[in-house]
Amino acid sequence: MKIQRRDDVDPICPHCSEKLAEVWYRELHGVAGRRYVYFCPSCRKVLGVSHRKGFLMG
């Protein structure tokens, strides 16, 4: 499996099927430390949670 960069194609939200030209995120603070929750700007459903900024499925 290889990873290919495609800046000309927008990802699609798995929840509302809108094109994701951007992804919104919020910073959460909890006992286990800092978390980033990523969500769709259209339907606001969560796409993923990460321990690190800018790392979607980490």
Q: Of the candidates 23, 37, 42, 49, which one interacts with Zn ion according to CB under 5 A?
A: 42
> What is the identity of the amino acid at 12?
I
Pick the closer one to Zn ion by CB: 12 or 28. 12
In which region does residue 54 sit, left (phi positive, over 0), alpha (psi from -120 to 50) or beta (all else)?
left
35 is a contact residue toward Zn ion (CB under 5 A):
no
| Rounded Cα–Cα distance for residues 39 and 55 (Å) | 13
The SS3 of residue 26 is strand
Scanning 1-9, 28-36, 39-47, 50-58 for contacts with Zn ion by CB under 5 A, the matching segment is: 39-47
Scanning 1-9, 10-18, 25-33, 46-54 for contacts with Zn ion by CB under 5 A, the matching segment is: 10-18
